[in-house]
Amino acid sequence: MNTPAKNAYILFTDLAGFSKLSDVDLRIYYSTLLPLLAQKIMKFKEESTVWNTWGDSLIVINENEASIADLAFEYRDFFNDFDYTTLNIPPLYPRIACHFGRFDLFDDPLLSGKKNALGININTSARIEPITKPKEIFVTKEFKDRFEATPDPNLSNKFAFDIIGQVPLAKNFGTHELYKFRKMNEDKEIIDRILEQDLSKMLPEVEAITDDNKRLLNSLKNSYDADALLNNASIGRWTSPEIFNENFLLEIAKIYKMFGLYEQALVLTKKIKDQKRSIDGINISLLGYSKELMKLETNCLTRQGRYEEAANLIYGVWNLGYRDSNTLSMLAAQYKRRAIYGNNNVLCDKEGINYDLLKRALSLYIEAFRINTEDYYPAINVAYLYKIIGGDNAGKGIKFANYILKNWKLSAGSDWWIDSTLLECDIIIGDYENLDDKYKNIITKHKPNSFEKMANYTQIKIFSELTSTNSNIIDNILKMLSSFD
């Protein structure tokens, strides 16, 4: 660092409503409103250690408590009191966060040597600003304690602090004791002192899985095959009234799914939904409508060819607000399997495919990947479907496969799913060199369970059948994936 670390007051601001301004509004903001703001606050710049802006944000570091306080209120009052009708733009509401702490100062080469700052306390200030109530100033206990330690009596008579409490900061930055900073002549707002309530009696959580049951789950996951699992854990063992922990039953259902025992998994998901807890005389299913349970049910129903039931469930998940990449991919899977298997749950030949449904599946997978470009699952399905649809789309499938190889090759070796996906890309682009040996290696390394093997087997089988990809290497890979040796 260019300068020894020091302590000072740190101020962060932004404007609620700024992101909704149109281009016309922004031009008015920068040409008219910002110059008016500058007339009010530029007097504080000279004595500030750091003074920086980007977009609607202002960051200031200042060692003088009177200066930082006056700046905060000048900024707040300018935006709160401004008559926005004179400019015909929407109102903007300031959020101002202040902290006190140690930071490092350096000459920023990207700002032509202008002073800039870094450190955990800079980050803390930045995480307080997003959770600050618009039109207000929130400060930390460190700011308050330092401010109140000043010998200047004029400050203690001019400003006041109202405790808000321990507040979670933005971006999972922990919690911090915060205060509302106000002028002494302003009313104290009681609403800022709303405290977190204990809802455990009204909204109880399912009990945690015991250590003994965790060991049992690990043992069942390592079963040799589905028959061995059922010998050790028949469905009747879990449907007895004595087994009531929903989290434990959900994990058992997941294990059944892993081994392709979809009917048994669905028996347990039904028990979880039917199982009620009495809360103040009201019978409640604690996990019956959880996203995790509904997605597990959807997977099992899909594997059984019960597409309509599965689609209804996943639409329910979507409408509950879980509009993520995974939900879209699960919905896409319903269209894909209906397009390829039809109503009889038998793999169609190329002429029997419902291409309208397949293209809808493709659109859903593309949107899932657009939402989360870190998720390779929808990406590999996009590559597959482009190749299966064929024609001009086949080249797009190869491009997607090459994209996956390029962007996830550094993750190779991390788990079964990424390694099998990378090898599936080789199949899509037609690179079969040592492919069966590569599959043998990843099976030996990761020891995939039956569900993991079958998922990969199904993808490759569909692809080879519908694209007329005939190869002894593909046949060998399918044999390895269907074997439990």
Q: Tens digit of pLDDT for each residue in 218-246? A: 999 888 888 888 888 888 888 777 777 88
Instruction: Give me 442's structure tokens.
Output: 């990843």
Asked if 247 contacts 287 with a C-beta cutoff of 8 angstroms, the reply is yes
Range 427-444 burial, b when 16+ CB lie within 10 A, else e:
bbbeebeebbebbeebbe
- Between 187 and 14, residue with greater pLDDT: 14
Residue 344 has pLDDT above 80, yes or no: no
pLDDT above 70: percentage of residues in the chain:
96
The helix (run of H) or strand (run of E) holding residue 40 is helix 34-41
pLDDT at 477: 94
Residue 485 has pLDDT above 60, yes or no: no
Q: CA 4 to CA 138: how far, in whole Å?
A: 28
Query: Which of the given ranges, 13-17, 54-58, 102-106, 464-468, has the highest pLDDT on average?
Result: 13-17
Alpha helices, H only, 222-324: 226-232, 235-239, 246-258, 262-274, 291-303, 307-319
Range 370-402 burial, b when 16+ CB lie within 10 A, else e:
ebbeebbbbbbbbbbbbbbbeeeeeebbbebbe
pLDDT at 6: 84
Average pLDDT estimate for 439-467: 90
Instruction: Give me 183's structure tokens.
Output: 């002028």
Tokens 């597409």 belong to 307
Average pLDDT, the chain: 88
Instruction: Give me 399's structure tokens.
Output: 């491009």
Range 302-334 burial, b when 16+ CB lie within 10 A, else e:
bbebbbebbbebbeebeeeeeebbbbbbbbbbb
Counting other chains too, the contacts that 372-379 makes at CB distance below 8 Å and 24 or more residues apart are 372/324, 372/325, 375/325, 375/326, 375/329, 376/404, 376/407, 376/408, 376/418, 376/421, 377/326, 377/329, 377/417, 377/421, 378/325, 378/328, 378/329, 378/332, 379/403, 379/404
Q: CA 290 to CA 395: how far, in whole Å?
A: 40
Q: Which residues contact 310 (CB under 8 A, 6 or more apart)?
A: 297, 298, 301, 302, 334
All domains of the chain in start order, with CATH: 3-193 (3.30.70.1230), 375-485 (no CATH)
Instruction: Give me 395's structure tokens.
Output: 């080249």
Q: Where are the beta strands (DSSP E) in 40-151?
A: 50-54, 57-62, 93-108, 114-118, 136-140
pTM for the model: 0.63
pLDDT at 4: 65
Q: What are the distances in angstroms from CA 49 to CA 8, 150, 380?
A: 9, 19, 52
pLDDT at 96: 95
Q: What are the distances in angstroms from CA 223 to CA 24, 229, 234, 297, 446?
A: 65, 5, 13, 22, 15
Angle, CA 346 vertex, CA 344 and CA 347 arms, to 5°: 140
Q: CA 79 to CA 41: how far, in whole Å?
A: 12
Angle, CA 225 vertex, CA 263 and CA 335 arms, to 5°: 45
What's CA 456's distance to the chain center, in Å? 26
pLDDT at 151: 80
Q: Tens digit of pLDDT for each residue in 268-299? A: 999 999 888 888 788 888 888 888 999 999 98
